[in-house]
Amino acid sequence: METSPKISIIIPTYNRAHLIGETVDSIRKQTFTNWELLIMDDGSDDNTEEIIKQYNDDRIHFFKAARTGAVSKLKNIAIQKNRGELIAFIDSDDLWATTKLEKQLAAMEQYPEAGFCLTGGYNFINKNEPIAYLYKQRDGIRVGDFLLPMLRSEVAGHIPALLFRKNCVHVSGYFDETKLFSDPDFILSLACHHKGILLYEPLYYRRLHEQSDSNEHWEKGYSDWVIVIQSYRTGKQIPASAAREALFKLYINFGEKCLQKKQREKAIKNFLKAWKNKPFSIIPVKKTAKAVLSYLK
């Protein structure tokens, strides 16, 4: 009798033949081995399929679709196809620590009231060379309600750092297929309906490169978070004061990112939006001055 996998891992991918092998290798090196991997290919025209077929591993399943550009749809199809009790996602250019699934599963078993578990992580360009960590704290655990902490940017909502119970989607819902990026909606809905666990240890590694979604669509990602926060305020799922605090931090971070991209006018606009949410804070004033002074350099 075939044993069902405990964890289903989902990789949506498109034309990542040059990187996906490293991602699959990081999964196959997991110390927890009772998993299945569903690779959802969005019509790649490179040799992604050939790369995957080289693995002699019955746990790996490759599904190729016609090109849609709808990552959310691919994720939803995979959620419906998978056989695991728990689900994890990883992008086809990212990596995991070998103990990620083992440690997350242990935390989920220790706190059965929790619907999901997140981990710390870091960005990298060169393998094993961290650039920036998600959290200053790199060990320990946090358990509880994460909706407001996520909106305040205290808890990072990175999908590849997530492990969640499959039955949660019956309450919190699937990915919104009407949006190009619905990760913020999905993970916030999980946090709205279920308690969470955060392992601060960096177990997820996000690769930065010119073709990465985080680089290509960084501005859209911030805009989506603004819409999500406003919708939670309108729906009265969070107090107006919490929404203002969340928007303040988001606009500050958005402005800083614009400065990094040399988009000074856009940075100033976002700092001013932050100020409107906290008019007595001096931080937006300092940030705006910094942006103005950068014109003189």
Kindly tell me if the per-residue pLDDT of 120 is higher than 70: yes
How do the domains of the chain map onto residue ranges? 7-215, 217-280
60-64/86-89 β-pairing: unpaired
Q: What is the mean pLDDT of residues 115-130?
A: 95
The structural architecture, per CATH, of the domain 7-215 is: Alpha-Beta Complex (3.90)
Kindly tell me if the per-residue pLDDT of 163 is higher than 90: yes
**pLDDT confidence tier of residue 1, bands split at 50, 70 and 90:** very low
DSSP state of 46: S
CA distance to 30, 169, 212, 222, per residue, from 217 (Å): 30, 26, 8, 9
Q: What is the pLDDT of residues 56-94, one digit of tens each?
A: 899 999 999 888 888 999 999 999 999 999 999 999 999
**pLDDT confidence tier of residue 111, bands split at 50, 70 and 90:** very high
Two structure tokens written together for 63: 């599904």
Q: What is the mean pLDDT of residues 147-154?
A: 88
Q: What is the pLDDT of residues 22-58, one digit of tens each?
A: 999 999 999 999 999 999 999 999 999 999 999 989 9
**pLDDT confidence tier of residue 293, bands split at 50, 70 and 90:** confident
Closest CA relative to residue 27, chosen from 73, 75, 88, 83: 88
Q: Are 198 and 153 in contact (CB under 8 A)?
A: no
The count of residues in the chain is: 297
What was the pLDDT predicted at 159? 95
**pLDDT confidence tier of residue 226, bands split at 50, 70 and 90:** confident
Name which residue leads in pLDDT, 13 or 222: 13
Question: In the chain, pLDDT over 70 holds for what percent of residues?
Answer: 95
Two structure tokens written together for 67: 């090109």
